[in-house]
Amino acid sequence: MDMQNDKIVVGLDIGTTKICVIVGHKNDYGKLDVLGMGKAVSDGVVKGKVINIEKTILAIKKAVEEAEDNSGIDIKVVNVGIAGHHIRSSIQRGSITRDDRDEEITVEDVNRLTNDMHRMVIPAGNQIIHVMPQVYTVDYDDGIKDPVGMTGIRLEADFHVITADINSINNIQKCVKRAGLDIENMILEPLASSLAVLSDDEKEAGVCLVDIGGGTTDIAIFHENIIRHTGVIPFGGNIITSDIKEGCMVMQQQAELLKTKFGRAISTEASENEIVSIPGLRNRAPKEISIKNLAHIVEARMEEIIDLVHAEILASGYEGRLAGGIVITGGGSQMHSARQLVEYLTGMDARIGYPNEHLGRTKIEAVKSPMYATSVGLVLAGYRSIDERENRYLEAKLNNQNMFINHKQKGVKKEGDFFSKIINKTKSFLIDDFDEKDDY
**3-state helix/strand/coil string of the chain:** CCCCCCCEEEEEEECCCEEEEEEEEECCCCCEEEEEEEEEECCCEECCEECCHHHHHHHHHHHHHHHHHHHCCCCCEEEEEECCCCCEEEEEEEEEECCCCCCECCHHHHHHHHHHHCCCCCCCCEEEEEEEEEEEEECCEEEECCCCCCECCEEEEEEEEEEEEHHHHHHHHHHHHHCCCEEEEEEEHHHHHHHHHCCHHHHHHCEEEEEECCCCEEEEEEECCEEEEEEEECCCHHHHHHHHHHHHCCCHHHHHHHHHHHCECCHHHCCCCCEEEECCCCCCCCEEEEHHHHHHHHHHHHHHHHHHHHHHHHHHCCHHHCCCCEEEECHHHHCECHHHHHHHHHCCCEEECCCCCCECCCCCHHHHCHHHHHHHHHHHCCCCCCCHHHHHHHHHHHHHHHHHHHHHHHHHHHHHHHHHHHHHHHHHHHHHHHHHHHHC
Average pLDDT over residues 268-281: 89
> What percent of the chain shows pLDDT beyond 70?
89
Indicate whether 120 pLDDT > 70. yes
Over residues 313-358, the pLDDT tens digits come to 999 999 999 999 999 999 999 999 999 999 999 999 999 999 988 8
pLDDT confidence of residue 402 = 63
Mean pLDDT, range 116-123, rounded to an integer: 91
Per-residue pLDDT tens digits for 165-219: 999 999 999 999 999 999 999 999 999 999 999 999 999 999 999 999 999 999 9
Q: What is the pLDDT of residue 429?
A: 45
Q: In the predicted model, is pLDDT for residue 1 greater than 50? A: no
Mean pLDDT within 416-435: 46
In this prediction, residue 437 carries a pLDDT of: 42
Q: What is the pLDDT of residues 357-395, one digit of tens each?
A: 889 878 888 999 999 999 999 999 998 888 888 888 877
Mean pLDDT within 276-291: 88
The band of 409, judged by pLDDT with boundaries at 50, 70 and 90, is: low
pTM, two decimal places: 0.86
What is the pLDDT confidence band of residue 410, given thresholds at 50, 70 and 90? Answer: low
What band does 440 get if pLDDT is binned at 50, 70 and 90?
very low
- Specify the pLDDT at position 330: 95
Q: Please state, for a pLDDT cut of 90, what percent of the chain lies above it.
A: 73
Mean pLDDT of the chain: 88
For residue range 234-249, list pLDDT tens digits in order.
999 999 999 999 999 9
Q: Is pLDDT at 48 greater than 80 in this prediction?
A: yes
